[in-house]
Amino acid sequence: MWRMFCAISLLGGTAVADTVVPTRTIRAQQIIAPEDLALRSGDLPGALRTPDAAVGMEARVTLYPNRPLRPGDFGPPALVDRNQIVPLFYAAGPLQIQTEGRALSRGGAGDVIRVMNLSSRTTVTGHVTPDGTVVVGPAP
């Protein structure tokens, strides 16, 4: 403890990290632009420290001005909306099945969502690909 205090004293004060905060209210499902974010001095555990990770992402919840931004508050932009008809793809070895399904939730590239197979009315879980296809089972 004493060594840590001495090291801080030699550096000329306490070390303070910056925290990323929104500059305006950003509604859920809006894309975050560089001008929407600012740095505020303060060290809050779990808060974002650089705005680069959030720019271009979609707000998952409403973000309020001057409140710290956390990694769970944003994610990749949604490619699939709830109730949208999406291509379903399954591949295992030489077997490949392609059909259509109805998305039961929103999701971006890499997200796992539930989809109802329109042919069988069965609910399946799959990963959203960058082109909006939902891959069920092992990746192709």
Compute the distance between CA of residue 113 and CA of residue 28 in angstroms, rounded to an integer: 18
Q: Give CATH 2.30.30.760 domain extents, the chain.
A: 78-136
pLDDT score at 7: 39
Residue 130, both tokens: 């960058």
- 10 exposed, middle or buried (CB, 10 Å; 0-12, 13-18, 19+)? exposed
Which CATH number applies to 16-75: 3.40.50.1000, 3.30.70.600, 3.90.1210.10, 3.40.50.620?
A: 3.90.1210.10
pLDDT score at 95: 92
Q: Which helix (H) or strand (E) holds 124?
A: strand 123-128
**DSSP for 30-95?**
PBPPGGGEEEEE---TT--S-GGGTTTPEESS-B-TTSPP-GGGEESPEEE-TT-EEEEEEEETTE
Q: Which of 32, 33, 47, 140 is nearest to 95 (CA)?
A: 140
Compute the distance between CA of residue 82 and CA of residue 78 in angstroms, rounded to an integer: 10
Q: Is the pLDDT of residue 139 over 60?
A: no
Q: Is the pLDDT of residue 12 over 60?
A: no
Q: Does domain 78-136 have CATH number 3.10.450.50?
A: no
Mean model confidence pLDDT for the chain: 87
Please name the residue that has the structure tokens 């329109």.
Answer: 118
Over residues 46-65, the pLDDT tens digits come to 899 999 999 999 999 999 99
Q: Give CATH 3.90.1210.10 domain extents, the chain.
A: 16-75
Single pTM value for the model: 0.67
pLDDT score at 9: 40
Q: Is the pLDDT of residue 15 over 90?
A: no
pLDDT score at 16: 61
Residue 127, both tokens: 């990963």
The arithmetic mean of pLDDT across residues 11-40, rounded, is 85
Better-predicted residue by pLDDT, 92 or 33: 33
Over residues 89-111, the pLDDT tens digits come to 998 889 999 999 999 999 999 89
Q: Is the pLDDT of residue 3 over 60?
A: no
